[in-house]
Amino acid sequence: MPESVLEPIQAAIQATLTAIQNRARLYRNLVVSVTVVVIGSVILAVIFRSVIPLLGLLLLVPLAGTYFVLDTRCTRLWSKHILGMWVEGELNLTAFSGAISAHQYVPRGTLEGMLGWLPKNEGRIGIAHENKLEIASRLEAAARRQQVLTSIAAAGLVAGPMLLIMSIISGSRLLFLLSLASAAMWAIARWKHA
C-alpha cells in the first residue's frame, strides 16, 4: 500500500488500540473497586458483628452504572474520531477494518463491538462526501442516543434500589413510588436499547 494510505490506517489503529486500553483500564478499575467494596464490607461486618456494613454492597450498583456510562462514552468518542477521518477522506474503512482485525493481540469481541459503530462496506466506487457526512451524522446520533440511554439506565439502576431501601427504613410510600418510577425508567431504557 502507498504511504499516503498507510499513515491514516496506522493513526486509526493507534486510536483504536488506545480506546481499547482505556476501556480495559476502566474494566480493571471496576474489578478492583468491586473487590475492595465486597471484601471491605464483609470484613467490617465480621469485625463489628453487624449487618450494617453490608449496606456497603449497595455501592456495587453505582460502580457498575458509572462503568457502563464511561465505557459507552469512550466508544462513542473513538467512533466519532474514526468517522471524522473517514468523512475527510483520510481513511478507507474497509482497509482499516481489515488491518485492525489482523492484529493478533486485539480482543475480538471488543473489536467487533467497536467496529459495529462504523459503516460496514464502502464498496469499490466510494461514497460521496455529502453522503459520508449524512452517514457519519446518523451514526454519531445513534451513538449519542446509546450514551443517553445508558446514562438513564444507570441512573435508574442506581436510584431504584437506594430509594427502595430508604422507603423500607422510613416507611415512606413516596420513596417507594419513586423507587418504582426509577425501576420503570431503567426498564424503559433497557427496552429502547434492545
Quick: pLDDT tens for 125-134: 578 888 899 9
Query: CA-to-CA distance for 77 and 20, rounded, in angstroms?
Result: 12
Angle at 180 between CA 171 and CA 69, to 5 degrees: 120
The domains of the chain are located at 3-193
Quick: pLDDT tens for 19-53: 999 999 999 999 999 999 999 999 999 999 999 89
pLDDT at 2: 59
Judge contact between 41 and 54, C-beta under 8 A.
yes
Work out the percent of the chain whose per-residue pLDDT is above 70: 92
pLDDT at 164: 82
Average pLDDT over residues 98-102: 94
Query: CA-to-CA distance for 76 and 144, rounded, in angstroms?
Result: 7
Query: CA-to-CA distance for 9 and 17, rounded, in angstroms?
Result: 12
What is the value of pTM for the model shown? 0.82
Of residues 54 and 193, more confidence is placed in: 54
